Copies of this chain bind each other. A is one copy, B any other.
């Protein structure tokens, strides 16, 4: 039987990763997120820290960075990561039913797998509250952290997929976790699955 994949795209601080994990537990399948990063690392030979730092950054433009971190094949480190990540996500989808959080999995698997594509979001206020609870305070205000991170995810997604991140038409369902609550989001998705 064909595997069934749930891809979760999410705004930072919306609890999308938590929803992915709880959903996977409930469905008794794997959830790939940090785990995916570690696997990526092993395959690629890149240092784990590098992947975590660079993994969701879009290349900065065609010229500004032209001589930094490029191999003989003219691809940047980020381009290499993208290719490795793409292959890895495709292998996972072929191997087993699973939940994949972030990493443009919705786009990568578009034509190839039986996917339920989910977008999780929440108001700025709810997300600010959550990141302070989960990650603690930092010097930057939570709103600035949210805007930075969202901007990066959007740029990364757009760079590699040429689609707009968070555009509802790219998903099957979009849930406001701040209104609906994490538990109920998990219920709705497991029921749909």
State the A residues within 8 Å of B (CB).
119, 121, 123, 166, 168-169, 171-176, 179-180, 184, 188, 191-192
> Bound complex: CA of A188 vs CA of B173, how far in Å?
11
Q: How many copies does the complex hold?
A: 2
Question: Which of the listed residues A121, A174, A188 has the most CB atoms from chain B within 10 Å of its own CB?
Answer: A174
Nearest B residue to A176, CB-CB: B172
The answer on a CB contact under 8 Å between A176 and B173 is: yes
14 residue pairs bridging A and B, Cβ less than 8 Å apart? A119-B174, A121-B169, A168-B168, A171-B174, A171-B176, A172-B176, A172-B179, A173-B174, A173-B175, A173-B176, A173-B180, A180-B192, A184-B192, A188-B188
> Bound complex: CA of A185 vs CA of B131, how far in Å?
31
14 extra A-B contacts, CB within 8 A, seeds A121-B168, A173-B174: A119-B168, A121-B169, A166-B168, A169-B176, A171-B174, A171-B176, A172-B176, A173-B173, A173-B175, A173-B176, A173-B180, A174-B174, A188-B188, A188-B192
